[in-house]
A = this chain, B = another copy of it.
Amino acid sequence: MAVYTQVSAEALGAFLERYDRGELLSAKGIAEGVQNSNYLVETTADRFILTLYEERTSTDDLPFFLDMLDHLAADGNPVPRALPDRDGAAIQQLAGRSACLIEFLTGVSVSHPTAGQAFAAGAAMGQMHTSLAGFDQVRANPLGADTWRPFLERCGRDIDTIEPGLFDRTEAALTAVLAEWPRDLPMAAIHSDLFPDNVLMLGDRVTGVIDFYFACTDIRAYDLAVMHTSWAFDGNGENYDPAIGKALIDGYASRFPLSDAERAALPILARGACLRFLLTRAWDWLNTPADALVTRKDPLAYWRRLETYLKDDLFA
């Protein structure tokens, strides 16, 4: 959400000389993504996103992310590819960081999706899952189900400063989810973070799926469950919109054959997704100063979603 690394116009101009993509006309630092620095760059030829990778982990995993994007783009999915320079290299060094020049996609992220938009976004995920059946690279999910208990323990009792009793309630919910967590569903490369922020749309059309830096190998239907938790509730997590929830699943199923086992597992997968985001948001909440300009996302919005999934079968 911030530009951590400043790139001078002089350095950017020299960087662009490695590509056949025109000369620098404009560059603006943009507030996009959560962990990297991004610039919207305009040249005499086109517009691009310049991403500088701030975290060592994501740098190590860059080849996985870029290969997955290339695979999806080659199959017609609207995802942004990292562009190769004249020598064919997509990963560069700039301002002391690994950096990529990335395709710019038009479209805006909707804040209040309509059912038509949710259907289209679900269909875009279904289409990606169809394409990714042919992608065989593997990246363990650094925020997968096996990490949730250690994550809760790292947060510790401090989590009760967010709301009294939250540790015990989270611990109980986690124990229940892990006891039922499916171990025999198909695994695949997934996005794992397909919130409305990460889908660009024009009207009811998906023009871009972005921010693949949490992409990993995990239960394929978990990807759809994450999407359900993030699209079908309001920002506070208080109100569930069944028309949006249905449209997401219907859209997905229109492009990818959701099996009966996957469909049956959606409630438990959604509860797991709620715990994953509750835990990472709680960690960020406890470790971000209240007056920092980074927006802290409310962990309790995910507790409220979890309670709704516990109360009703939203996939019935």
Q: A9-B111, A293-B2 are in contact. Are A32 and B31 (CB under 8 A)?
A: no
A292 to B9, CA, bound (A): 25
Residues of B within 8 A of A42 (CB): 106
Contact in complex: B293, A112 (CB < 8 Å)? no
User: Shortest Cβ distance from A201 into chain B, in angstroms?
Assistant: 8
A106 to B8, CA, bound (A): 16
Q: A289-B291, A293-B292, A293-B293 are in contact. Are A110 and B28 (CB under 8 A)?
A: no
A221 to B253, CA, bound (A): 69
A108, CB-defined interface residue at 8 Å: yes
Residues of B within 8 A of A31 (CB): 2-3, 28-31
User: Shortest Cβ distance from A63 into chain B, in angstroms?
Assistant: 27
Size bin of chain A's contact surface: 20 to 34
A89, CB-defined interface residue at 8 Å: no
Stretch at the interface among A19-27, A130-138, A166-174, A242-250: A19-27
Contact in complex: A24, B289 (CB < 8 Å)? no
A260, CB-defined interface residue at 8 Å: no
A109, CB-defined interface residue at 8 Å: yes
Q: Which of B2, B28, B202 interacts with A2 by CB under 8 Å?
A: B2
Residues of B within 8 A of A202 (CB): 25
Contact in complex: B107, A25 (CB < 8 Å)? yes
Within 8 A of B (CB), among A277-316: 289, 291-294
Contact in complex: A27, B293 (CB < 8 Å)? no
Interface string of A99-129 (1 = CB under 8 A from B): 0000000111111100000000000000000
Which of chain B's residues has its CB closest to A9's CB?
A: B108
A180, CB-defined interface residue at 8 Å: no
User: Shortest Cβ distance from A115 into chain B, in angstroms?
Assistant: 15
Which of chain B's residues has its CB closest to A41's CB?
A: B108
Residues of B within 8 A of A13 (CB): 108
A40, CB-defined interface residue at 8 Å: yes
Q: Which 3 pairs across A and B sit closest by C-beta, in order of nearness?
A: A9-B108, A8-B111, A29-B31
Q: A9-B108, A27-B108 are in contact. List 5 more A-B contacts (CB 8 A).
A: A2-B31, A8-B111, A30-B30, A42-B106, A292-B293
Task: Write the residues of chain A forming the contact surface with B, with a CB cutoff of 8 angstroms.
Answer: 2-4, 8-10, 12-13, 24-32, 40, 42, 106-112, 200, 202, 289, 291-294
11 intermolecular pairs with C-beta atoms under 8 Å apart: A2-B2, A3-B31, A8-B110, A9-B108, A9-B110, A26-B108, A26-B200, A28-B40, A29-B30, A29-B32, A40-B40
